[in-house]
């Protein structure tokens, strides 16, 4: 064991060395550091967070050292409610008006000025009624992540003020995404979505998960470009497989949230951000929030049950975009594309992958009047696929006019990749009353009649029977 404490060891490192990244990781991952950091107080805490902050300005943002420093800095500052000294604004921030221009889950947004320049001021709400949310922790963690995200499609954070606690960022004159579209109906939707995807690609390349991507968190600058903001729920992953539990936060907005987060059996992930991006596409082409005709609770149940908003009726919305949207909001997270693939489709350099049915490549979007049900079925084989009959209710939203022209949907016999054999799949749907006869349902059945274990082969999809969305017969 060294006679120097870990902070002194860090100060001995030369940031110009080609081994700086590895040396930082060796110290921060070491047992000696882990024991030391739990007991530090006062000047040692200040010295550590200032060192990590400076190291982030030197390290390659794509390196493991950068990710480790950012995660460590975010954790320490959230737990100790402290920020690096470089975050403090030297100029006075003047707030314009007493009423906020917007409000969110953890704070209120005001218009302000610094040296006669307009700025956006997010003031943390200290007295939060939600006992599961620590607004101070959220404030410090958001500041840490946001300050080190510098990209043309990310709103820049200028700094913070201590009294009161405020995040100060550049003012975006175009407002948020839906406001901008209402004010500028001829705005290029594809360009705006490309901006959002570029920003999201940057975040994911830094192993940062946004966690709350939606129209109100996408602002438009004076040049008409979209920028992502609000990193209160953002997290930094250690690697591509390291994610955060959905139970860590309750601040997500249901209409944009992936089903695996809503049912509390999944985790915040890059795939969950991609799901939210699909809902942002709905906003861009309709000018309305997803499930705008539903109450929040109904929207939650709809998403958990596999229901999705209908196809937008906009002249610029193509079949290729519809296929991309269906892939992005797939019920099964690992079937969603990466943001790099989304950008290729938006920029016209690559056709969209076909939406999956059973992960094979067939679309499973079924329509009932004005509504669409995206019934996603994971891979199965004849050996492990008993006959089943599932009923999925459409009652979570206002009941649409049910078309009498519902036709049978079926897929040809297929052989799942790497499985061998030719297990055919047959889906049929029809209008039928539920047990009380009070609402329409959609019935799905398969064509199997094979021997095998009597179990539900689709646990990810048909696990919410107690909510009245899905029932097995």
Question: How buried is 162 (Cβ within 10 angstroms: 0-12 exposed, 13-18 middle, 19+ buried)?
Answer: exposed
Q: Which pLDDT does position 446 carry in this prediction? A: 34
| Count of alpha carbons within 13 angstroms of residue 64, beta-carbon side | 13
Residues 6+ apart with CB under 8 A from 363: 323, 326, 354, 355, 357
Question: How buried is 212 (Cβ within 10 angstroms: 0-12 exposed, 13-18 middle, 19+ buried)?
Answer: buried
Considering only CA atoms, which of 207, 59, 227, 64 is closest in space to residue 145? 207
Relative orientation angle of helices 270-286 and 339-346, to the nearest 10 degrees:
30
Q: CA 151 from chain center: how many Å?
A: 18
The H-or-E segment that residue 361 falls in is none
Q: Which pLDDT does position 269 carry in this prediction? A: 92
Q: Which pLDDT does position 337 carry in this prediction? A: 95
Strands (E), 204-309: 208-209, 218-220, 226-228, 235-236, 244-245, 267-268, 307-308
Backbone angles phi, psi at 466, to 5 degrees: -70, -10
Q: Which pLDDT does position 102 carry in this prediction? A: 83
Please tell me the distance from the alpha carbon of residue 314 to that of residue 11, in angstroms, as a whole number: 58
DSSP string spanning 301-321?
HHHHTTEEPPPP--TT--HHH
CATH class as words, domain 177-355: mainly alpha
Q: Which pLDDT does position 26 carry in this prediction? A: 95
Consecutive 10-residue averages of pLDDT for the chain (473 residues): 86 93 95 94 95 94 90 92 90 82 78 90 72 73 88 94 87 94 93 97 91 94 94 61 35 83 87 97 95 92 95 94 96 94 89 52 33 36 32 36 32 35 33 39 33 36 30 29
**Regarding the domain delimited by 88-170, which CATH topology (the fold level of the hierarchy) does it fall under?**
Phosphorylase Kinase; domain 1 (3.30.200)
Please tell me the distance from the alpha carbon of residue 355 to that of residue 320, in angstroms, as a whole number: 11
Relative orientation angle of helices 319-328 and 270-286, to the nearest 10 degrees:
140
Q: Which residues pair with 93 in a beta bridge?
A: 114
Please tell me the distance from the alpha carbon of residue 264 to that of residue 303, in angstroms, as a whole number: 13
The H-or-E segment that residue 102 falls in is strand 102-103
Q: pTM of the prediction?
A: 0.70
Write down how long the chain is: 473
| CATH 3.30.200.20 segments of the chain | 88-170
The tokens of 319 are what? 């079949």
Please tell me the distance from the alpha carbon of residue 229 to that of residue 212, in angstroms, as a whole number: 10
Residue 448 to residues 384, 387, 454, Cα–Cα distance (Å): 10, 5, 12
| CATH 1.10.510.10 segments of the chain | 177-355
Please tell me the distance from the alpha carbon of residue 60 to that of residue 21, in angstroms, as a whole number: 8
For residues 326 and 336, is the Cβ–Cβ distance under 8 A?
A: no
For residues 77 and 144, is the Cβ–Cβ distance under 8 A?
A: yes
- Alpha-carbon Rg for the chain, nearest whole angstrom, is 25
Q: How would you classify residue 469: left for phi > 0, otherwise alpha for psi between -120 and 50, otherwise beta?
A: alpha
Residue indicated by tokens 């000047």: 43
The tokens of 394 are what? 């459409």
For residues 229 and 218, is the Cβ–Cβ distance under 8 A?
A: yes
Please tell me the distance from the alpha carbon of residue 274 to that of residue 297, in angstroms, as a whole number: 22
For residues 110 and 66, is the Cβ–Cβ distance under 8 A?
A: no
């Amino acid at each position: 064991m060294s006679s120097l404490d870990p902070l002194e060891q860090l100060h001995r490192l030369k940031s110009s060395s080609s081994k700086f990244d590895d040396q930082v990781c060796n110290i921060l991952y070491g047992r000696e550091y882990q024991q030391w950091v739990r007991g530090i107080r006062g000047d040692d805490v200040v010295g550590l967070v200032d060192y990590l902050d400076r190291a982030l300005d030197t390290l390659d943002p794509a390196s493991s050292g950068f990710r480790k420093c950012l995660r460590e800095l975010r954790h320490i500052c959230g737990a100790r409610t402290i920020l690096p000294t470089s975050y403090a604004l030297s100029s006075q921030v003047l707030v314009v008006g007493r009423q906020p221009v917007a409000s969110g889950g953890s704070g209120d947004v005001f218009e302000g000025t610094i040296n006669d320049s307009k700025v956006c001021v997010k003031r943390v709400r200290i007295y939060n009624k939600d006992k599961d949310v620590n607004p101070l922790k959220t404030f410090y963690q958001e500041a840490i992540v946001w300050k080190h995200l510098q990209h043309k499609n990310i709103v820049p954070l200028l700094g913070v003020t201590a009294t009161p606690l405020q995040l100060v960022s550049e003012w975006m004159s175009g407002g948020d995404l839906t406001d901008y579209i209402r004010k500028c109906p001829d705005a290029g939707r594809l360009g705006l979505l490309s901006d959002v995807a570029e920003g999201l690609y940057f975040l994911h390349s830094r192993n940062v998960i946004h966690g709350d991507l939606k129209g109100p968190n996408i602002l438009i600058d004076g040049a008409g470009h979209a920028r992502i903001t609000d990193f209160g729920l953002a997290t930094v992953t250690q690697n591509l497989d390291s994610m955060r539990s959905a139970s860590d936060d309750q601040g997500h907005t249901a209409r944009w949230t992936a089903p695996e987060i809503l049912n509390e059996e999944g985790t915040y992930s890059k795939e969950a951000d991609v799901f939210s991006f699909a809902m942002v596409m709905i906003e861009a082409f309709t000018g309305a929030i997803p499930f705008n005709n539903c109450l929040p609770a109904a929207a939650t149940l709809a998403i958990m049950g596999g229901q999705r908003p209908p196809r937008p009726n906009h002249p610029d919305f193509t079949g290729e975009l519809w296929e991309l949207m269906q892939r992005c909001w797939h019920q099964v997270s690992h079937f969603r594309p990466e943001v790099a693939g989304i950008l290729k489709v938006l920029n016209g350099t690559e056709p969209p992958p076909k939406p999956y049915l059973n992960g094979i490549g067939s679309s499973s979007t079924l329509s009932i009047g004005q509504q669409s049900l995206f019934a996603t079925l994971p891979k199965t084989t004849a050996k492990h696929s008993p006959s089943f009959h599932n009923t999925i209710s459409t009652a979570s939203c206002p009941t649409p006019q049910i078309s009498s022209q519902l036709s049978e949907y079926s897929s040809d016999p297929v052989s799942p990749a790497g499985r061998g054999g030719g297990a055919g799949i047959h889906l049929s749907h029809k209008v039928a009353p539920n047990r009380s006869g009070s609402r329409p349902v959609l019935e799905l059945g398969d064509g199997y009649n094979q021997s095998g274990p009597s179990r539900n082969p689709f646990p990810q999809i048909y696990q919410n029977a107690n909510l009245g969305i899905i029932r097995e017969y």
